[in-house]
Amino acid sequence: MPNIRPRRLRTSETLRRMVRETALSVDDLVYPVFACHGSGVREEISSMPGQYRLSIDELVKEAQEVRDLGIPGILLFGLPETKDECGSEAYAENGIVQQAISAIKADVDDLLVITDVCLCEYTSHGHCGIISDGCVQNDETLELLAETALSHARAGADIVAPSDMMDARVRAIRSRLDEYDMYDTAIMAYSAKYASAFYGPFREAAECAPQFGDRKAYQMDPANAREALKEVELDIQEGADVVMVKPALSYLDIIRQVKDNTDLPVAAYNVSGEYSMVKAAALNGWIDEQRVTMEILTSIKRAGADIILTYHAKDAARWLQGTCPP
Ligand code: PBG
């Protein structure tokens, strides 16, 4: 007969609730959204069922819904009118993201606007920086990233989130923001961003697949963990306010190690491919979408994430409120 019975604490839901170690909350969630030009546009992204490209009028309604669900913030991506070699619309004063920020800030209270700072959605070649000699040029790109972040901050962004993986971009952005007195604009750095195949559906959504080569010369090798800690450390030294690990699910060990090595809030990005796999299996009736989603989000939190960026955010918020039948 066992003399110790861990099952005793699992005998009822009330007891399980009392000893539960991790509680996912709507406060942990951030919802990524895609802004596009036009009006009345609400175009479903075929590789990401339930996610849309939204023109600004539709995006403002979406932002209200997100706020009403109690989700603290959105992560904003933009689809430009035209793309060029140096991604001009990324830092244009009237670019899609800049317009979207002002419209949301004018209409929706109490919703944090976090902006993705990168060039890849805006460049004709689809890379995250300036190309010369067939390579992404780190130092020349910094200037454009700093300019992009400043334009977002001026339009009213609360947090800028550089996702390009150029070296020293957090420092470049922080000093540009401070130079223009934008001291209160925070930086959420995509610190440990891996060169991942899980971004596939996003690249369709944002039409930003690289036109030649891949991103392995700037995003991290999925095999490396110590290097992630180095990247996080550098971003902290350069002035990051929040550090991020991306993707989340294949990198739960990295989230935990980052958490144990910093006092800053740790964000984890539950990326497009992770979302689409759940959706595809659920649409086929192969898994229970709600239970799988909540298990995934809880595991990301258990690994150490304080903030979870996820396309499941609206569904999860409803499930947490119990307004959606199981
Ligand atoms: C831009 C960017 C990407 C994602 C977020 N910002 C794509 C990439 O790096 O290729 C991926 C998000 C997702 O897959 O959900 N650099």
Flag whether 9 is in a domain: no
Ligand 1 atom closest to Cα of residue 210? 10
Flag whether 17 is in a domain: no
Is the distance from CB of 51 to CB of 311 less than 8 angstroms?
yes
Minimal-distance CA residue to ligand 1 atom 6: 163
- The tally of domains found in the chain comes to 1
**8-state DSSP, 26:** G
Say how far apart CA 207 and CA 202 lie, in whole Å.
8
Closest CA relative to residue 121, chosen from 88, 73, 149, 150: 88
> Which residue in the block uniquely carries the two structure tokens 């539709």?
58
Flag whether 15 is in a domain: no
CB distance 202 to ligand 1 below 6 Å: yes
Say how far apart CA 117 and CA 109 lie, in whole Å.
23
Flag whether 126 is in a domain: yes
Mutation probe of ligand 1 site: the residue of 118, 122, 202 with most atoms within 8 A of C-beta: 202
User: Residue-wise pLDDT tens for the chain (326 aa)?
Assistant: 999 999 999 999 999 999 999 999 999 999 999 999 999 999 999 999 999 999 999 999 999 999 999 999 999 999 999 999 999 999 999 999 999 999 999 999 999 999 999 999 999 999 999 999 999 999 999 999 999 999 999 999 999 999 999 999 999 999 999 999 999 999 999 999 999 999 999 998 888 999 999 999 999 999 999 999 999 999 999 999 999 999 999 999 999 999 999 999 999 999 999 999 999 999 999 999 999 999 999 999 999 999 999 999 999 999 999 866 54
Q: List the CATH number of the domain containing 135.
A: 3.20.20.70
Residue 301 falls in the annotated catalytic set:
no
Flag whether 84 is in a domain: yes
Task: Note down the domain range covering 202.
Answer: 23-320
Residue 105 falls in the annotated catalytic set:
no
Flag whether 256 is in a domain: yes
Flag whether 153 is in a domain: yes
CB distance 91 to ligand 1 below 6 Å: no
pTM for this entry: 0.97
Mutation probe of ligand 1 site: the residue of 199, 203, 272 with most atoms within 8 A of C-beta: 199
Q: What is the distance in angstroms between the CA of the first residue and the CA of the last residue of the chain?
A: 38
